């Protein structure tokens, strides 16, 4: 697959503050936050998008969810956050290296704001 900005970030080629990191993933702040809290959980393995993940990625995908919960606690938003994965251009994906968005700190319950990232 094509290298992406997230490949460079996960490999440490672009200096970036990691809010959390382990051997499988890193967590960074989104550069264009769509909510007061907006962070990205990025696996070090460059899977282009969720729809091409397969059984061999099962443990990694589970790990990313566990990390999402831990990071939500770390950021103090564990009672009210949204987890988003955009898949494919039509799904709003712009960086083709799988990542999870954690969004929090604004009303997620009603109207347009309930639609996710935009």
Residues assigned a catalytic role = 99
Q: Are 39 and 75 in contact (CB under 8 A)?
A: yes
Distance CA 95, CA 40 (A): 12
Pick the binder of ligand AMP from 30, 48, 50, 53 (CB under 6 A): 30
37: contact with ligand AMP by CB under 6 A:
no
Cβ-in-10-Å burial (0-12, 13-18, 19+) of 1 comes to: exposed
15: contact with ligand AMP by CB under 6 A:
no
Distance CA 28, CA 36 (A): 14
50: contact with ligand AMP by CB under 6 A:
no
Q: How many amino acids of this chain bind ligand AMP (CB under 6 A)? A: 11
Q: Which residues bind ligand AMP (CB under 6 A)?
A: 5, 28, 30-32, 40, 86, 92-95
């Amino acid at each position: 697959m094509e290298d992406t900005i997230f490949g460079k970030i996960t490999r440490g080629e672009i200096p970036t503050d990691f809010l959390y990191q382990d051997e499988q993933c890193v967590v960074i702040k989104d550069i264009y936050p769509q909510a007061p809290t907006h962070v990205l959980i990025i696996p070090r393995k460059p899977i282009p998008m969720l729809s091409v993940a397969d059984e061999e990625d099962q443990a990694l995908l589970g790990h990313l969810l566990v990390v999402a919960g831990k990071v939500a606690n770390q950021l103090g938003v564990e009672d009210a956050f949204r987890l988003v994965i955009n898949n494919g251009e039509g799904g709003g994906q712009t960086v083709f290296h799988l990542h999870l968005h954690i969004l929090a700190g604004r009303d997620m319950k009603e109207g347009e704001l309930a639609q996710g990232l935009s």
